């Protein structure tokens, strides 16, 4: 689960992209999420972005019957290239919601196609700034082979960061550099505002959005490291949530023929975690996913 930006304090977090980092719990069940969130949420004076919003007992708001909801299906999240098995699993989810009394309608988030470039411009820019502190001086990894300060900086950052982290630092430094700031970073901030407005308009019509979590099932380890763009495109349905700062959660809703789970993503307006968890709990109960896909006991 991703919580609303500011719902959970970021104090103590190793910052990646400060305006995008959303802290939330993982759990085996929706109830796990609800109980965990009730503990970790709340205002923190040590985090200037922490929201002064009341924290309800989220677990007590869960019930077997789902409240009557209007659910939106963003048409941009079901492109022609979406894995057919994922499409079918999401159709099953929507049919289940309708049997529980929900009204389902199509909505539009017209700037979705700009999500990935916008996210990776802003995320890498903020990462290049945040990760500058990892230079081996005050904390973190420090190279022991350096002979002077300059070499210590170079060796520490060369040895301590992996290839993907270095790639993001370089991209971020580039988009923040003189002559490129307005062309990339500033324009990305403007598109971020448009994305935010898309969701505001959608939530005037519906209570929650239902989308796939990813366009395909999980790829093999290291399968796409040689093609970072393809790897980044896997975030197309989830990265927008961080750009807009609203809550969302993913739960398994089916299994593809390759044996890997398919995820359904529920998205809510800011600080609507209770509504989100209640709908997810009702879906979880209706799906009975864990009961249907529990591993068989082994004879010992």
pLDDT at 296 over 70: no
Average pLDDT over residues 150-162: 93
Residue 66 has a CB neighbour count (10 Å cut-off) of: 19
Domain coverage including residue 193: 30-291
Q: Please report the pLDDT score of residue 151 as a whole number.
A: 94
Once rounded to an integer, what is the mean pLDDT over residues 29-35? 95
Whether 16 maps to a domain, the answer reads no
What pLDDT does residue 293 have? 62
Average pLDDT, the chain: 91
Would residue 17 count as lying in a domain?
Answer: no
Position 64 scores a pLDDT of 58
Taking the complete model, does pTM exceed 0.85, yes or no?
yes
Query: Which residue, chain included where needed, has tokens 């993503």?
Result: 265
Residue 5 lies in a domain: no
> Is residue 232 assigned to a domain?
yes
Better-scored residue on pLDDT, 14 or 276: 276
In a domain, 13, yes or no: no
In tens, the pLDDT along 160-208 reads: 999 989 999 999 999 999 888 999 999 999 999 999 999 999 999 999 9
In a domain, 248, yes or no: yes
State the average pLDDT over residues 76-93.
94
> How many domains is the chain partitioned into structurally?
1
Statement: residue 295 has pLDDT above 90: no
What is the band of 298 on the pLDDT scale with cuts at 50, 70, 90? very low
What confidence category does residue 290 fall into, taking pLDDT thresholds of 50, 70 and 90?
Answer: low
Residue 300 lies in a domain: no
CATH number at residue 168: 3.90.1300.10
Question: Is 19 domain-assigned?
Answer: no
**Which residue is listed with tokens 């950052």?**
157
- Residues pairing with 103 in the sheet: 70
């Amino acid at each position: 689960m991703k919580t609303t930006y500011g719902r959970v304090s970021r104090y103590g977090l190793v910052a990646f992209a400060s305006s995008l980092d959303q802290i939330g719990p993982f759990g085996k069940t929706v109830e796990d999420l609800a109980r965990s969130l009730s503990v970790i949420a709340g205002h923190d004076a040590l985090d200037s972005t922490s929201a002064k919003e009341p924290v309800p007992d989220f677990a007590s708001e869960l019930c077997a019957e789902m409240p009557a909801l209007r659910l939106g299906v963003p048409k941009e999240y079901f492109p022609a290239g979406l894995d057919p098995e994922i499409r079918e699993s999401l159709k099953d989810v929507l049919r289940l919601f309708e049997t529980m009394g929900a009204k389902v309608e199509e909505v539009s988030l017209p700037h979705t196609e700009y999500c990935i470039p916008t996210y990776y411009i802003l995320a890498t820019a903020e990462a290049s700034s945040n990760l500058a502190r990892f230079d081996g001086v005050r904390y973190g990894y420090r190279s022991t082979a350096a002979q002077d300060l300059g070499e210590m900086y170079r060796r520490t950052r060369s040895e301590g960061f992996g290839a993907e982290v270095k790639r993001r630092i370089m991209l971020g430094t580039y988009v923040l550099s003189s002559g490129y700031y307005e062309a990339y970073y500033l324009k990305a901030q403007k598109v971020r505002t448009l994305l935010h407005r898309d969701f505001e308009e959608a939530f005037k019509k519906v209570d929650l959005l239902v989308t796939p979590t990813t366009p395909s099932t999980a790829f093999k380890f290291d399968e796409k490291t040689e093609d970072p763009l393809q790897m980044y495109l896997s975030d197309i349905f989830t990265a927008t949530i961080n750009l807009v700062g609203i809550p969302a959660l993913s739960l398994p809703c089916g299994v593809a023929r390759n044996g890997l789970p398919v995820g359904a993503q529920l998205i809510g307006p800011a600080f609507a975690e209770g509504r989100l968890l209640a709908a997810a709990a009702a879906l979880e109960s209706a799906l009975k996913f864990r009961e249907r896909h529990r591993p068989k006991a082994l004879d010992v």
